[in-house]
Structure 1
Amino acid sequence: MKTSVSAPASDLWVMPGRALIASSGKHLLPKRSGAYYFVGVVDGPLGCSPPCWR
């Protein structure tokens, strides 16, 4: 199986065979809609995961 790699725009669906890598200074925030998953791209401090942004 081939794998495609990309730096996604916001709200890109997560699919088998697709590797998503955040651009520099960005974070991927996984979201769910029913049985499907997608990622949002957000700005955030380096070395910090979403719970510490609050």
Structure 2
Amino acid sequence: MRGQLWPPLLSDFFASVSREATNPLKPKYDRLYGYEEVTLPKAEMVTWALHEYR
């Protein structure tokens, strides 16, 4: 049961960390084309890399 619950929790955690990291940048860079589509996935990739780095 735990194996089924863990991946969704981890992906939700990474998504929330990405939002928290990019929200302060939104007032300055939101007017740029593609900000929403590009910034969140990149922040999530950085979060995954930090998680894997041990």
TM-score between the two structures when normalised by the length of structure 1? 0.21
Give TM-score scaled by structure 2 length: 0.21
Flag the structure with more relative contact order, 1 or 2, with Cα contacts below 8 A and sequence separation at least 6: 2
Structure with greater proportional strand content: 1
Query: Which is higher, the Rg of structure 1 or of structure 2?
Result: 2
